[in-house]
Amino acid sequence: MEFSDVVRARHSYRGFTPKQVDEQTLREIFELANWAPSNCNVQPWHVHVLSGDACDRMREKMKAAAAAEEPFNPDFPWEGKFSGEYKERQICSALGLWEHQGVTRDNPEKRAWSWMRNFEFFDAPHIAFIFVTDQFPELVRLAGDVGMYSQTLMLAMADAGIGSCPQTSVSCYPDLVRKELGVDSHYKLMMGLSFGYIDEADSANNLRTERDPLEATTSFYS
């Protein structure tokens, strides 16, 4: 694919088939993502990729925690509150997703189902958890590095015909993830990424979010 086509082919997909990505492709994609830039080349990402049974075990644990409404204890604050134009965009994307999932605002059961899809990893056969160590005092720069890594990873997936969904939601149970994977508590969970082959029959995958025009976001000087 042309690079611009890869960028435009990446969307957040929220419905996957059970077909697994073969191991060699998996390794190539994650190796490519390692070439993302980072402040002083510190490469702060520590990535755990779960497939097959390992992914299913984690999914069951996370679903059980969410169903029992176990309190969230994310390693990084997550208010999920926005205001002004940012809130408008947030609402727009949430309503867009609900529309494609057949969820209406006045139906609390369906809304809960939509939220629970996060903890089902949208049926993906793989999930990656991206950790960072707690030895970085400059959280903003660290978050920037992880953002660059994650986008490189998602573009590499898009180029290989693999869909993905970045997820802050699944980082709300970091202790569960650390315990299941035997990860030390010095590693903090920044986000998850469900991925696999897209289920074309899942209408959630028809969602296309919009972007503000260039003039609204970017100023040029000469």
Contact positions toward ligand FMN, by CB under 6 A?
11-12, 14, 93, 118, 165-169, 191, 209
CB 84 to ligand FMN: min, Å: 17
Rounded to a whole number of angstroms, the minimum distance from the CB of residue 114 to ligand FMN is 9
User: Residue 177 or residue 191: which is nearer to ligand FMN going by CB?
Assistant: 191
Nearer to ligand FMN, 21 or 164 (CB): 164
| Closest residue to ligand FMN using C-beta atoms | 169
Give 120 or 175: the residue with its C-beta nearer to ligand FMN. Answer: 120
In the bound complex, what is the minimum distance in angstroms from residue 129's beta carbon to ligand FMN?
A: 13
In DSSP terms, which residues pair with 191 in a beta bridge?
A: 130
Label residue 169 exposed, middle or buried (CB < 10 Å: 0-12, 13-18, 19+): buried
Residue 55 makes CB contacts below 8 A (sequence gap 6+) with: 121, 124, 125, 126, 127
The length of the chain, given as a count of residues: 222
Nearer to ligand FMN, 23 or 81 (CB): 81
Tell me how far, at minimum, the Cβ of 9 lies from ligand FMN, in Å.
Answer: 11
